[in-house]
């Protein structure tokens, strides 16, 4: 984790370089909270009713029953809070950079990636209404995604004999979005570009301007996203292998560092 002061120093340098480009429009995105992505899965129940946090966060293939605080890699509740606090300060700095640029007459915009993923946070907010802050509103998935069963969410991808059981917005690495997850990000970015920055979109010929709101074709994305259209029947053996490799590598690295 970067110290927020150091992040500000680096951001200032980036902003100055962007200004040299003299772009017609500039969009800066915020940094997501890392505890939203399923790579850091909260163990067990939250620390208290209405809290955003779990006592420990570990790798998604380590079950609550198998988790060993003395053996398995993890971050604590307080460490997760500190990480989120640092990211909030990063995002405040990014928002301030956009505000300052706009006050200087530049056409800059903020793409709230962090807020978007918070609104998709299944375990933190969707399944725990008491933890929701006053600003929180559940993100409404496109019609094509709501029609899927089960509805895709931000939890780690799990599949059984009948196909996908949970997840679908994040890929199997627990960090990067799936194809449909990237589609959601693309749609939100398009909305900023079209509705706020006034960017024009064109058809495939590059000349004919598209009229009306530009919408991502989620039906097409579903067909191309094999985790959604043809999900594996089970990931149990693969996850056991990943967990075994993970444990072995931790042991080897640990001995090398002694």
Q: Which of 113, 132, 149 is the last residue of a domain?
A: 113
Nearest-CA neighbor of 40 among 22, 24, 55?
55
Domain boundary among 78, 113, 148: 113
Q: Is 64 a domain residue?
A: yes
Note the pLDDT of residue 238: 56
Say if 221 falls within a structural domain.
yes
Contact 127, 120 (CB under 8 A): no
With beta carbons less than 8 A apart as the criterion, state whether 173 and 141 touch.
no
Tell me: do 175 and 232 sit in the same domain: yes
Asked if residue 152 and residue 46 are part of one domain, the reply reads: no
Statement to judge: residues 105 and 214 lie in one domain: no
Cα R_g (the chain), whole angstroms: 21
Q: What confidence category does residue 60 fall into, taking pLDDT thresholds of 50, 70 and 90?
A: confident
Assigned domain for 60 exists = yes
Cα 145 from Cα 222, distance rounded (Å): 8
Output the pLDDT for position 258. Answer: 45
230 plus 182 within the same structural domain: yes
**In this structure, are 156 and 258 located in the same domain?**
yes
- Residue 247 clears pLDDT 80, i.e. is over it: no
* Spatial CB neighbours of 174, under 8 Å, sequence gap ≥ 6: 37, 38, 39, 40, 41, 59, 60, 156
Same domain, 99 and 186: no
Residue 130 covered by a domain: no
Q: For the whole model, what pTM was predicted?
A: 0.88
Residue 135 covered by a domain: no
Measured CA to CA, the distance from residue 53 to residue 81 in angstroms comes to 8
Domain that holds residue 51: 1-113
Let me know whether 171 and 225 are in one domain. Answer: yes
Res. 56 pLDDT band, cuts 50 70 90: very high
Q: Determine if residue 105 is left, alpha or beta; phi over 0 gives left, psi from -120 to 50 gives alpha, anything else beta.
A: left
Give how many domains the chain has, as a whole number.
2
CA dist 39 and 138 (Å) reads: 22
**Domain termination residue (choose one: 95, 113, 131):** 113
**What would the pLDDT profile of 4-24 be if each residue is shown by its tens digit?**
999 999 999 999 999 999 899
One domain for residues 103 and 35: yes
Q: What mean pLDDT value characterizes the chain? A: 91
Among 6-20, 72-86, 158-172, 236-250, the range scoring the smallest mean pLDDT is 236-250
């Amino acid at each position: 984790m970067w110290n927020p002061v150091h992040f500000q120093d680096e951001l200032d340098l980036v902003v100055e370089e962007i200004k040299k480009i003299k772009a017609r429009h500039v969009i800066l995105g915020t940094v997501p909270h890392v505890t939203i992505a399923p790579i850091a899965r909260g163990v067990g129940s939250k620390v208290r009713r209405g809290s955003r946090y779990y006592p420990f966060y570990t790798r998604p293939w380590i079950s609550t029953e198998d988790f060993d605080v003395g053996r398995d890699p993890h971050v604590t509740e307080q460490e997760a809070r500190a990480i989120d606090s640092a990211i909030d300060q990063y995002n405040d700095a990014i928002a301030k950079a956009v505000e300052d640029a706009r006050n200087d007459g530049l056409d800059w915009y903020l793409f709230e990636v962090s807020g978007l993923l918070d609104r998709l946070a299944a375990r933190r907010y969707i399944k725990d209404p008491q933890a929701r802050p006053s600003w929180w509103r559940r993100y409404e998935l496109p019609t094509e995604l709501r029609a899927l069963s089960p509805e895709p969410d931000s939890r780690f991808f799990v599949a059984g004999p009948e196909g996908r059981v949970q997840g679908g917005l994040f890929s199997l690495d627990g960090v990067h979005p799936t194809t449909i997850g990237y589609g959601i990000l693309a749609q939100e970015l398009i909305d900023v570009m079209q509705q706020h920055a006034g960017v024009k979109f064109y058809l495939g010929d590059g000349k004919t301007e598209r009229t009306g709101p530009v919408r991502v074709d989620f039906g097409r994305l579903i067909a191309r996203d094999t985790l959604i259209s043809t999900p594996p029947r089970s990931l149990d053996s693969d996850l056991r292998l990943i967990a075994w490799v993970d444990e072995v590598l931790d042991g080897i690295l640990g001995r090398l560092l002694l």
